[in-house]
Amino acid sequence: EKLTVELGERSYQIVIGDGLLHQAAALLVEAGIASTSKLMIVTDENVAVHYLEPLLDVLRENGYQAHSAIVPAGEQSKSLAVYERLMTEAIEAGLDRKSAVLALGGGVVGDLAGFVAATYMRGIDFVQMPTTLLAHDSSVGGKVAINHPLGKNLIGAFHQPKVVIYDTKALRSLPKREVAAGFAEVVKHGLIADAAFVDWLEDNADLLWQLDSELLGKAIEKGCAVKAAIVSQDETEQGQRALLNLGHTFGHAFEALSAYSTLNHGEAISIGMCLAAKVAERIGFAETGVYNRTKRMLELFHLPTAWPGTLSPDAVLEAMKRDKKTVGGKLALVLPRAIGQVEVVKNIEEELILGV
Ligand code: NAD
Ligand code: ZN
C-alpha cells in the first residue's frame, strides 16, 4: 500500500508492506536521499536485536554509509541526556546538511530521532521506519519531541519525514500487549471519522489480531489516512486536530493515576473512549448503542474497557482538570455523535463525569 500525505506545499509517502525493510535502499533513493548521503540509524535495544543488521546490510550493499546509534528501550530515552548523546554521535560520525536520520523503532525512537533530525544543523532529512502499530499514529503529523523532567513532550518541533517505510513483518516480534495498544489508536481513527472502517475492523478483528499482513497493511493505511486528512486541514493544531483526542482526556487521567505503569497509553484511551461514549449517551448527544458498540470493538482487540479496580471518581475528575483541555474551568470533551463521527463538546457538567 502507498499513501501520500499532503501538508501545505510539502508531501511525503507512507509505504506499507510485508518485508519492506529489504527494499529500504530503493525506497530512500525514490524519496530523494542519494546513496552518497551519510545516514544515522537510531533504534532501541529491543528493535536492534531483530532488525538492525539486516537493514545495515541492505544499505551498505547499496553504497550508503550508515552509522547506528542504539538507545535503551522505553520512554526514558526521550530525554535531554540521550538527545545530547545522539547529537555528539552525529557530529562525530560526520553528518552534514545532506545527511539523514533514520528512526527504526516505535514512537519513542521516532519522536527522539525526529527531534535530532529537526535540530541537527537547523534540520536535516528524516525517515521513519516504524516497528510498532502505535507508530502509525506518530508517523503522520510531523510532531517530534523529547520529554522534560517536568512534563512529557515539552521540548519539540514539527519536522515532516521524507518518507515512512512501514514493514508490517516487523510487527510480528511485538509483544501482544503493545499490539493491543496500537489497535486502540486504530479503532480511535475509525470512531472519529469512518464508520465503514469500523465495520471492516469488526469483521476482520480475528485475522488482524493474528497480524495477517495484508489486512494489517490496510488497517495501518486507513488509520494513517484518517489522521492525515485531519492534520492536513490543521497542521499546527487549531481546531480539527482536537478531534484526535477522543478518549484522551479521560485516558491521560488514567495514565497519571496509574503512575504511567499499570496501564499503557492505548489501554488508558481504550477506557477513555468507552467513558466518552457513555457521557455522550447520557446527555443525549449520541444515539443509544454507541457505547455498546465502542466497548465491543475494543474488546475484540483485547483492550480493557473499564478501570481494572476501584478508583475515586473525584480523583479522576481532578486529574482530568489538570490535563490541558479545560475551557474556563469547565471540561471540554471530544464525544461521539455516532460511530464514525465526533465533535468537541464544551461545558460538560462535572456531575456527569462523576456519574460515568
Ligand atoms: P515504544 O517505541 O516504546 O515501543 C514499545 C515497546 O516495544 C518498546 O519496549 C520497544 O523496544 C518495543 N518494540 C518496538 N518495536 C518492536 C518490535 N518490532 N519487536 C519487538 N519489540 C519492539 O512505544 P510506542 O507505543 O511505539 O510509542 C509511544 C511513544 O510514541 C510515546 O512516547 C508517545 O509520546 C509517542 N507518540 C508520538 C506521536 C506523535 O505524533 N509524534 C503520536 C503518538 C505517540
Ligand atoms: Zn494517543
Specify the CATH number for the domain of residue 133: 3.40.50.1970
| Whether 122 is catalytic | yes
Q: Is 265 a catalytic residue?
A: yes
Active-site residue identified among 2, 122, 324, 351: 122
Up-side HSE of residue 55: CA atoms within 13 Å toward CB? 28
Of 165, 172, 177, 178, which is best to mutate to test ligand 1, by the most ligand atoms within 8 angstroms of its C-beta? 178
Domain coverage including residue 259: 176-355
| The pLDDT of residue 292 | 98
Please tell me the total count of domains within the chain: 2
Q: How confident is the model at residue 152 (pLDDT cuts 50, 70, 90)?
A: confident
- Does residue 143 carry a catalytic annotation? yes
On whether both 7 and 156 belong to a single domain, the answer is yes
**347 φ, ψ (degrees, to nearest 5):** 55, 50
Buried b (16+ CB within 10 A) or exposed e, 314-352: eebbebbbebebeeeeebbbbbbeebbebebbeebeeee
53 and 122 housed in the same domain: yes
172 classed as catalytic? no
Contact 281, 290 (CB under 8 A): yes
Residue from 162, 188, 189, 227 carrying the catalytic annotation:
227
Ligand 1 pocket, mutate which of 44, 55, 108 (most atoms under 8 A from CB): 108
Cα(256)–Cα(205) distance, rounded to whole angstroms?
30
Whether residue 75 is found in the same domain as residue 135: yes
Instruction: Please give the Cα distance from 253 to 75 (Å, whole number).
Output: 18
Query: Model confidence over 90-133: pLDDT tens digits?
Result: 999 999 999 999 999 999 999 999 999 999 999 999 999 999 99
Q: Which atom, in ligand 1's list, is nearest to the CA of 74?
A: 3
Complex prediction ipTM: 0.99
Tell me which of 154, 170, 186 is where a domain ends: 170
Q: For residue 327, is pLDDT > 60? A: no
Provide the pLDDT for residue 235.
57
